[in-house]
A and B are shown apart, each in its own frame.
Chain A
Amino acid sequence: MPGEADKVTNGVRVSADIGGTFTDIVLARDDGGVFSLKVSSTPDAPEQAVIKGVVSILELAGARGEDVREVLHGTTIGSNTLLEKSGAPTGLITTRGFRDVLEIGRVRTPDLFDLTWSKPEPLIERWARLEVRERMAADGSVVEPLDEDEVLETARRLKDQGITSVAVCFINAYRNRAHEQRTAEILRSQFPDLAVTLSTDIQPEEKEYERTSTAAVNAYVLPVMRKYFARLAEGLRAADVSSPIYVINSSGGLSTVDLAAEKPVYFISSGPAAGVTGAARLGASIDAENLIVFDMGGTTAKAALIEGGRISRANEYEFRAGISTPSRFIKAGGYLMRAPNIDIAEVGAGAGSIASVDPGGLIHVGPRSAGAVPGPACYGLGGINATVTDANLVLGMLNPVALAGGTLAVDIERARAALERDLAKPLDTSLEDAAVGVRAVVNAGMARAIRAVTIERGVDPRDFSLVAFGGSGPVHACDVAHLLGIRRIVLPNMAGVFTAAGMLAGDVEREFIEPLSTLLEDDALQAAVKRFEELEQSARSALLADGFRLESIALEQSVDLRFENQDTTLSVPLNGIGEPGSAEVLRERFLQEYERVYEYRADDAVELVAARVVGTAYRAGKLDFRSYRLTDADSGKAAKGEREVMFAREAGWTPTPVVNRHAIGKSQRGPLIVESSDTTVVVPPDASVFADEVGNLFVEMEAQG
């Protein structure tokens, strides 16, 4: 029976994803039963919503605090701290002559011809960026020894000014860490309450701005994140939940909460990453290896790529106030972090994005968003601007009376009025044409995010299935797919809370990297074998220390290569240490990969840049997307009726059946609207849909004429 729990026979695992409006909680029982819940977020003390949600869902699932085996968590604390500039008073200690590196950055501007632009305030102001005498050469030799007295004096000055967290970054420390490490020793022994971040502890790689900025972000968010995790653990313990807590890192892997508290820069994009890893797990369960992940919420849409079961990752990204541009080659105007992350493109197009017309007659959507408050015009909560949701409502895509399973009342007349005023009038067109236009523009924006992770990488989106989730993903998925020529769309069960569900399916990962910086020759490859052995040892030890058993740990090796004098590398996987043995074989493998991406080969020397080992600990009892049973309020309900929907201008109003998700079985032709409590699925006329045993929906688009 829905809502009524069976007795818990074993343990449960709980996940929590904090969003702007709601905190999503999902619970999986060892017997395969799954429960989900949304509670209002509590932005001032985000852990409160998590704790409250965990207590409620345990009740719902008939479990007790001590039954919880693990709590998995995706948090936006890091990104919010940066967005709101609410981090700790932070200082920087750096090499004499280089205090301005952090503020100078890479000197570009995000756009051309814009004389109104301003750089964001650096996280550490100039007065708190102090220099000490020391210098390493590019080969790691000491040019000038560390002036230890100056370190002490500098730290004292920073403390006197109220600084509580310090980043240390010295020029060429990536070649020799001794001065940074000695500085940390001095600071930790003399100023034990000062939080210290060393640039080389975070990412020991060339390029001083990138390393300084990464250390600065870490230092800035560290005290906030540390306190947050402490409060979370304490609150959960008070609810009798004293299981380990794992946190999703920006790369989508799970890490221990202790690591998250020490190197929070790895956890800034904790939230969105979980959705992508979840999609990869889902993909594995439905035998789909090539997926485009599409997550659309209220203010932004995100896209990521899963190719051959592998998630596309990047080693650097920039946090900006507002919306990231999909033009990722620009390094400007944000807080740069060199931290492994999932290559997620984000555009300012969401359900709450505001639509307008410029004086030349072009429709624009976003990046301004009406958010949850005041919300779209149709909410009647004070929002008057026409939004994407209003356009969807006018076109019949959404329920004209209430959304979110009937819990959120809407007023279609307000939506019509807003669209008429903001779009139809200035465009001199009909209301419906204006609404179709808004949808077309927002869909094009989302397609642009997807292009950034596909076509820019030399990948044809038509070879992929689109996995769509987030509250609004399933409303737009088919149209976005159509724009890109994608034929198959997957709409997971629990699309509205999919990110939290995805965490439960995750594993714990630790990545270890060692720079090699040598030409690809047989001798160098032999020497790299030793580095790989050390990296494997580090990865294994780290996971054993996290409490995993040896047999649950798997290690993957890869090597980063490039042509000599290039900057960007390509990663080539190896099948174990010592493979492939000869430089010639590895070179050929690199050339093949290079040609696949860039469509040409060169005869030049190839450089071994870095060795990489990823250790994965497979969690026992993780959510299996093949065999879970979702317990929700919609179970057993059938068709809901019919309404007129306008899918395209040419087609006009089309009578369209409206059904419950559980009513979908074997293949059914569109048009069709599927309503559930967490989202609405829009299936256009030129498509068909079917469901699998666990409730995932699959849409097949017909060939385009």
Chain B
Amino acid sequence: MTLAHDPEFDSYDPITFAVIKSALDTIVDEMAYNVMRTARSHIVRDVLDYSTTLCDRYGNIVTQARTVALHLGAVPDAIAAVLARYGDDFAPGDVVIMNDPYEGGMHLPDIFMFKPIFFEDRLEGFSVVVAHHCDMGGRVPGSNASDSTEVYQEGFRIPPLKLYRQGEPDESLFRLFEKNVRVPDLVIGDLLSQYATCRMGEREYQKLLARYGPRTVERYVAELLDYAETMTRRQIGAWPKGTYSFTDYIDGDGFTEDPIAIKVTITVREDDLLVDFTGSAPQVRGALNSTLSFVKSASYLSVRCMLDHEVPNNSGVFRCIEVHAPEGTILNPRPPAAVAARALTGYRIVDTMFGCLAQVVPDKVMAAGEGGNTVVCIGGYRPGTNEPFILVDMINGAWGGRADQDGIEGVTNPSQNMSNLPVETLEARYPVRIDEFGYLPDSCGAGRYRGGLGLVRTYTLLADEALLQLRSDRTRHPPYGLFGGEPAAPTVNILNPESDIERLPGKTTRIIRRGEQLRHQQAGGGGYGHPLERDPQLVAHDVRNGKVTSDYARKHHGVVMYADFTVDIAATETLRRSGSEEQRKWPEGQHA
């Protein structure tokens, strides 16, 4: 028996424990479903860039729905900011919102909403919905530019404030929203969706409290956190002790193309981890700076991916991970640094963590994936009207190869679990046409298990003029392979691929005109293990499916094929032998 028993809590019952755990999981899933059904913007209702959680009264995450994973670890710091501002000044019916990165938030488009849950006049916890809003005002539509230089340019900044007091809406705050964002109908519609969902979470949690009694639920919630901690410590305790390091890069901050280093040093201690980002780049001029809360969140997530599936998703896991990032770096910036594009930095933290953890638990990691979603934001006015439109499109992605299977193609980054905007939905609502959406052959990193293929998405503007903001990466630092696996093809952005071809940088803000085309080729996933060790039949299968070409098969895997897609075994063996001396060498040190 390994459960931490509280001596004062002698009526501990594993059955009630299991029932309360599944009830909590059900509540947050129901909340997530409720957001999807009531939201207005595509970024929330189709792409699903939001998350739902329940917290105890101290701000510990009790459980999280299967929504955006990277929001998970930032909630405790956010609640701390709310508590710092309001103390115990909460009443039933209050609702607090905030988005200020320098007071608990992440970046301005992500509005946190907290509803204190009361039961029998006592604060018992918080019902929480975090949603990415499609516009927060500021200098560019979508409020998400990579090339802002201070947070003041990025939009409407909200410290912890009560949007509702005892059930009554704060009209001044709503009116400020109406005047500060470009598409108030969508933003307020999504806020109402968050509100309805917070209430639903509160109601369901209250039912649980009524059923089992608030003190019993409190005990079991504490037990659930301990349980996650115990399981985490046991697993980390089995990892090889030592200090490990890894560095990965972001291409540049949108102003310069100087590589931005993310360096991590992980120390595996007795049964917990020290994650230290000393050595990472100083804070940057552009908007890639990430709050420390988000750095912690990305670190927790990376470690959580190495743990067994049964470990509950709650704050107990976080207790076993100490995160450090020096102030003044890109991972702990001083105000008023711009932060809108911090998600990209979060993805790179995860890549860096995985690369480092590959040295600790090589069977559990994957080689680098696409490097995080690409954000294509096209904003302007509908033809013949003064009605604004803001398309925020997100492109995801590919996974790197794994110890026992290929990476996945056409899949969300594991940090996100977001969806995609259907081409038909996009075309019905925006003056934009999608000319292609598919896999890019040969874009995977070769390996015993190859990475996923990168995606291609091509946009044609059908309005007279629009502002294009592109946030992509991995154009110069392609996703790394592991243990002899090759890196994937890098990201490529091309303007007007069929006429006056122009290579665009990874991050750009520029005007485009009617008929102009943007072709985005996203990086694929890196390979895992040596490409010459790949089963020739798997290579043949890929060639038949046009996922890799026969030239690629020969060059990277030493596989020779007949025209009917069967393997020429003799020729393959000869080719693999001849190439093996040189090709079998593993790259030393870093795999990037």
Per-residue contact bits, chain A 241-270, to B (CB 8 Å; 1 contact, 0 not) = 000000000000000000000000000000
A99 at the interface (CB under 8 A from B): yes
Is the C-beta of B433 less than 8 angstroms from some C-beta in chain A? yes
* B402 sits at the interface (CB 8 A): yes
Q: How many interface residues does chain B have, given as a range?
A: 35 or more
Render B54-86 as a binary contact track against A, CB cut-off 8 A, 1 for contact: 000000000011100100000000000000000
Chain A proximity mask over B356-389: 1 for CB below 8 Å, otherwise 0: 0000000011100000000000000000000000
CA A113 – CA B234 in complex, angstroms? 18
A-facing mask of B207-231, CB < 8 A → 1, else 0? 0000000000000000000010011
Among A276-284, A563-571, A621-629, the one that faces the other chain is A563-571
Partner of B420, one of A107, A112, A428: A107
Chain A contacts for B425, CB-based, 8 A:
206-207
Complex: chain A residue closest to B32, CB-CB: A329
Asked whether A171 lies within 8 Å of B418 as measured between CB atoms, the reply is no
Q: Collect the chain A residues with CB atoms within 8 Å of residue B189's CB.
A: 563, 565-566, 602, 604
CB contact under 8 A between A104 and B427, given known A113-B313, A115-B364, A437-B15: no
B residues in contact with A452, CB < 8 Å: 26
B422 touches A208 (CB 8 A): yes
> Are the CB atoms of A362 and B310 closer together than 8 Å?
yes
List chain B residues, Cβ under 8 A from A646.
Answer: none
Interface of chain A residues 550 through 583 with chain B (CB within 8 A): 563-568
| Cα–Cα distance between A101 and B436 once the two chains are bound (Å) | 10
Q: Is A396 an interface residue (CB 8 A)?
A: no
Q: How far is the CA of A436 from the CA of B399 in the complex (A)?
A: 43
Interface residues of A in 521-572 (CB under 8 A from B): 563-568
Report B-chain residues with C-beta under 8 Å of the C-beta of A360. Answer: 2-3, 227, 230-231, 310
Stretch of B301-309, B494-502, B571-579 that contacts chain A? B301-309
Given A115-B414, A361-B3, A602-B189, A126 and B547 contact (CB-CB distance below 8 Å):
yes
B192 partner, pick from A119, A327, A600, beta carbons under 8 A:
A600
Given A97-B437, A600-B192, A112–B417 Cβ distance below 8 Å? yes
Q: Please determine whether B40 and A600 come into contact, CB atoms closer than 8 angstroms.
A: no
Q: Find B396's partner among A107, A111, A116 (CB 8 Å cutoff).
A: A107
Q: Which of A28-36, A56-64, A443-451 is found at the contact surface with chain B?
A: A443-451
Knowing A126-B545, A362-B14, the reply to whether A444 touches B307 (Cβ < 8 A) is no
Stretch at the interface among B122-130, B135-143, B404-412: B404-412
Interchain CA distance A564-B39 in the complex, whole Å: 10
**Given the known A-B contacts A360-B231, A455-B204, are A104 and B455 also in contact in the complex, defined by CB atoms under 8 Å?**
yes
Which of B193-201, B244-252, B318-326, B468-476 forms contacts with chain A?
A: B193-201
- Given known A-B contacts A97-B435, A600-B196, A361 and B41 have beta carbons under 8 A apart: no
Q: In the complex, what distance in Å separates the CA atom of A327 from the CA atom of B65?
A: 9
A residues less than 8 Å from B310 (CB atoms): 358, 360, 362
**A637 to B484, alpha carbons, bound, how many Å?**
75
Known A137-B433, A362-B14: A563·B422 in contact at CB below 8 Å: no
**B30:A104 contact, CB within 8 angstroms:** no
In the bound complex, CA of A100 to CA of B19 (Å): 42
8 Å CB interface, A105-154 against B: 105-119, 125-127, 137-138, 143
In B319-373, which residues have CB < 8 Å from any A CB?
364-366
Whether B458 sits at the interface, judged by CB under 8 Å, is yes
Residues B436 and A97 in contact, CB atoms below 8 Å apart: yes
| B residues in contact with A106, CB < 8 Å | 419-420
**Are A441 and B15 neighbours in the complex by a CB distance under 8 Å?**
yes
Residue A590, interface by CB 8 Å: no
Q: Which residues of B contact A103 (CB under 8 A)?
A: 409-410, 439
Give the interface SS of chain A, mostly helix, strand, loop or mixed: loop
Contacts of B45 in A (CB 8 A): 566-568
Given contacts A107-B418, A427-B14, A567-B46, contact A327 B437 (CB under 8 A): no
Q: Does B424 contact A (CB under 8 A)?
A: yes
Question: Does residue B278 face the partner (Cβ distance < 8 Å to A)?
Answer: no
Given contacts A427-B14, A456-B30, contact A127 B545 (CB under 8 A): yes
What residues of A have a CB within 8 angstroms of the CB of B65 in the complex?
A: 327
The CA-CA distance from A568 to B37 in the complex, in Å, is 5
A481 nearest CB across to chain B (Å): 14
Point out the residues of chain B lying under 8 angstroms from A437, CB to CB. Answer: 14-15
CB neighbours (8 Å) of A125 from chain B are 545
Q: Kindly identify, within residues 423 to 457 of chain A, every residue whose CB is under 8 Å from any CB belonging to chain B.
A: 427-428, 436-437, 440-441, 444-445, 448, 451-452, 455-456
Q: Which residues of A contact B279 (CB under 8 A)?
A: none
What residues on A are CB-neighbors of B434 within 8 Å? 97
CA–CA, A328 and B399, complex, Å: 24
On whether the beta carbons of A563 and B40 are closer than 8 Å, the reply is yes
- B310 to chain A: closest residue by CB: A358
22 contacts between A and B (CB under 8 A): A98-B437, A100-B410, A104-B438, A107-B396, A118-B408, A171-B424, A172-B424, A206-B422, A206-B425, A359-B2, A359-B231, A362-B227, A437-B14, A441-B18, A441-B19, A444-B19, A448-B22, A452-B26, A456-B33, A458-B200, A566-B45, A567-B46
Please give the residue numbers on chain B whose beta carbons come within 8 Å of chain A beta carbons, in ascending order.
1-3, 14-15, 17-19, 21-22, 26, 29-30, 32-34, 36-41, 45-46, 48, 64-66, 69, 185-186, 189, 192, 195-196, 199-200, 204, 227, 230-231, 234, 301, 304-305, 307, 309-310, 313, 364-366, 396-397, 399, 402, 405, 408-412, 414, 417-420, 422-425, 427-428, 433-439, 455, 458, 544-547
Known A116-B402, A360-B3, A568-B45; further 14 A-B contacts with Cβ < 8 A: A104-B420, A106-B420, A107-B396, A111-B309, A112-B64, A112-B304, A113-B309, A126-B439, A327-B32, A361-B2, A362-B227, A363-B15, A455-B204, A566-B189
For the complex of A and B, list the 8 residue pairs with the smallest distance between their C-beta atoms, beginning with the closest.
A104-B410, A97-B436, A100-B438, A138-B427, A126-B545, A565-B40, A568-B37, A329-B33
